[in-house]
C-alpha cells in the first residue's frame, strides 16, 4: 500500500481585478436599463392630481409586479455600485474614504428604496383600492388616508434620492483619483448625482411635478452614458492594464 498522501486541492484563484470591473459595470448598466424598462409600465397620469391618479392606481392589475421590477432594477444598480468600490484601484487615502462613504450611502439608498416600495408598492395600493371600493359615506376618510400615504411616499423618495445622489457624487470623486478611467466618466457620474439631489429637493417640496420628471429623465440619460462608457473601458482593458489591488 502506498503511503503517499493525496495532494491537497489547489485553492481556486480569486477573480482578477479586470473580471471584477466587468462584473460591476455590467451590473450597473443592466440594473439601470431594467429599471427604465419596468418604469414604462407604471400607471401614468398627473401624479399630483390625486383623485384622478388614485383611480388609475386602483385599476392597475400589474402594480405589484411593476414595483417589484423597479426594486430589482434598483437593487442590481446599487449592487453594481458596491462592486465597483471593491474593483476600483483607490490608491490615495482621500479616494479610499470617498469610496467608503459612497458605498455606505449606496447601502442607505437601497434600504430607503426598499422602504419606498413598501409604502408605494404595497401600502398606497391597498389604500387606493379601499378608497375606490368604499361606500360614499367613507370615501372622504379613505381618500385622506391614501393622501397621507402618498405624502409619506414623497418623504421616503426624497431621502432615497438624496442618498443615491450623495453616493454617486462620492464615487465620482473617487474616480477622479483613479488613473485607469477617463476623467469625463467621473464628470458624468457627478452630474447624475446632482440630478438625483435635484429630484430629492423637488419631490420633498412639491411632490411629483414636471420639474421632477425633467430631473428623472436627465438622471437616466446621464446614468446610461457613464455606465455604457465604463462598460466599454472595462471590456477593452487587458489583464496587464488592470489596476492592481491597493
The model's pLDDT over 17-27, given as tens digits with 9 standing for 90+, comes to 678 888 999 99
DSSP 240: G
pLDDT recorded at residue 17: 67
Q: Is 155 helix (H, G, I), strand (E, B) or coil?
A: helix
Q: What is the pTM of this model?
A: 0.87
Report percent pLDDT > 70 for the chain.
89
Q: What is the mean pLDDT of residues 150-175?
A: 96
pLDDT recorded at residue 10: 42
Q: What is the mean pLDDT of residues 175-184?
A: 82
Whether residue 246 is predicted with pLDDT greater than 90 in this model: the reply is no
Q: What is the mean pLDDT of residues 57-78?
A: 96
Q: What angle do CA 206, 211, 214 make, to 5 degrees?
A: 145
Q: What is the mean pLDDT of residues 133-161?
A: 96
pLDDT recorded at residue 237: 72
Whether residue 231 is predicted with pLDDT greater than 50 in this model: the reply is yes
CA distance 196 to 209: 14
DSSP 17: H
State whether the Cα torsion 20-231-186-180 is positive or negative: positive
Amino acid at each position: 500500500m502506498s503511503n503517499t498522501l493525496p495532494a491537497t486541492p489547489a485553492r481556486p484563484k480569486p477573480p482578477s481585478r479586470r473580471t471584477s470591473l466587468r462584473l460591476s459595470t455590467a451590473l450597473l448598466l443592466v440594473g439601470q436599463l431594467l429599471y427604465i424598462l419596468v418604469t414604462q409600465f407604471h400607471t401614468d397620469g398627473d401624479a399630483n392630481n390625486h383623485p384622478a391618479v388614485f383611480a388609475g392606481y386602483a385599476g392597475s392589475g400589474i402594480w405589484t409586479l411593476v414595483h417589484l421590477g423597479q426594486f430589482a432594477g434598483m437593487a442590481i444598480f446599487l449592487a453594481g455600485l458596491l462592486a465597483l468600490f471593491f474593483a476600483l484601484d483607490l490608491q490615495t487615502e482621500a479616494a479610499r474614504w470617498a469610496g467608503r462613504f459612497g458605498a455606505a450611502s449606496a447601502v442607505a439608498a437601497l434600504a430607503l428604496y426598499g422602504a419606498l416600495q413598501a409604502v408605494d408598492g404595497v401600502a398606497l395600493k391597498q389604500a387606493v383600492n379601499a378608497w375606490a371600493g368604499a361606500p360614499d359615506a367613507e370615501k372622504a376618510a379613505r381618500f385622506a388616508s391614501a393622501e397621507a400615504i402618498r405624502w409619506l411616499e414623497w418623504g421616503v423618495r426624497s431621502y432615497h434620492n438624496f442618498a443615491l445622489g450623495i453616493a454617486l457624487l462620492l464615487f465620482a470623486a473617487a474616480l477622479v483619483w483613479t488613473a485607469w478611467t477617463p476623467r469625463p466618466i467621473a464628470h458624468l457620474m457627478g452630474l447624475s448625482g446632482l440630478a438625483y439631489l435635484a429630484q430629492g429637493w423637488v419631490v420633498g417640496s412639491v411632490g411629483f411635478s414636471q420639474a421632477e420628471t425633467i430631473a428623472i429623465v436627465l438622471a437616466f440619460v446621464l446614468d446610461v452614458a457613464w455606465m455604457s462608457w465604463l462598460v466599454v473601458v472595462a471590456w477593452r482593458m487587458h489583464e496587464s492594464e488592470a489596476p492592481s489591488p491597493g
